[in-house]
Amino acid sequence: MNIDYAEKFINTDRKHLNFSDDVRIIERNSLRIMNPQMLAAFIGYLKFQHRNLGRIYFRGEKKNHKNTIPSLYRGNHITDKTIKIRTSAYEDLVDSIPELYKAYRFKREDINPLLQHYGIKTNWIDLVDNLYIAIWFSLHNNLSNSGFIKIFCEKNENDSLFISDLRNNHSSLSLRPHCQHGISATKAIKDWNLENINFNNYLVATVELPNNTLFELKGEIFTEKYMFPLKKVDNTFKLLSQKKLTTRINEIYTKYNLTDDELGIIS
């Protein structure tokens, strides 16, 4: 994005607010926000600024990763060849799912983001539209002093992300996405490569949060037990955990000469 929203928020459009030390600019389009109300103010500001362009989504991260890359293409030594092999292996796996599972939810187009939410590495990224869930993923079990929220717009000046809201596209038989307010996004790309795997061209701003009691989320609804329901109540998790899928994944590892973690695991 061409506009520095962090600078514009503090020094122009909301300069009347008494920020004190609660809000500081770290770098271009990056703020450190120490006050929950100021976080809500900045999020509201960004939504209003983008109201004629597209919806705003969040991604909670424990570390301030420089790039936003789908899990399928992450690694220290990624090449175009690696990306091509992983893409082929992943598509092979996706094509196998309807043969393994006859339930309707495994035949629809949204099988890709569904797999993403249950541990398989895909060319989608996880997003949410619920700020509390983003804070949870940023700070829960985070041993460092800070967490981060990346803020994305579904559209930029040139292109649009393809958004799948699993709360609308899947029933509660797939319970995890409903508990996590799960949304996934991908690009309309056939040939993935090093030039297009980064989603930062949709990144609007980054917020650093303090890992302290001001941002603490309490109660059963903010526990891992709630966010990751057990197999006895999450039917999709139960089915995907069956041995036949593990067997198929192992066959694909052998076929494409992959290592044990390149496609992820159901967890």
3-class DSSP state of 128: strand
Angle between helices 243-256 and 80-100 (to 10 degrees): 150
**Tens-digit pLDDT profile for residues 102-143:** 999 998 778 999 999 999 999 999 999 999 999 999 999 999
> Cα–Cα distances in Å, from 252 out to 84, 91, 95, 185, 236?
14, 10, 12, 25, 21
Mean pLDDT of the chain: 95
- Cα 21 to Cα 24: distance, rounded to the nearest angstrom: 7
Q: pLDDT digits over 222-255, tens only?
A: 999 999 999 999 999 999 999 999 999 999 999 9
Output the six-digit token pair for 185.
Answer: 């996004």
Residue 257 is classified by DSSP as T
At 1, is the pLDDT very low, low, confident or very high (cuts 50, 70, 90)? low
Q: What is the pLDDT of residues 27-67, one digit of tens each?
A: 999 999 999 999 999 999 999 999 999 999 999 999 999 99
**Cα–Cα dist 5/24, whole Å:** 13
CB 264 within 8 A of CB 71: yes
Provide the pLDDT confidence category of residue 179 given band limits of 50, 70 and 90: very high
Residue pair 5/49 in contact by the 8 Å Cβ criterion: yes
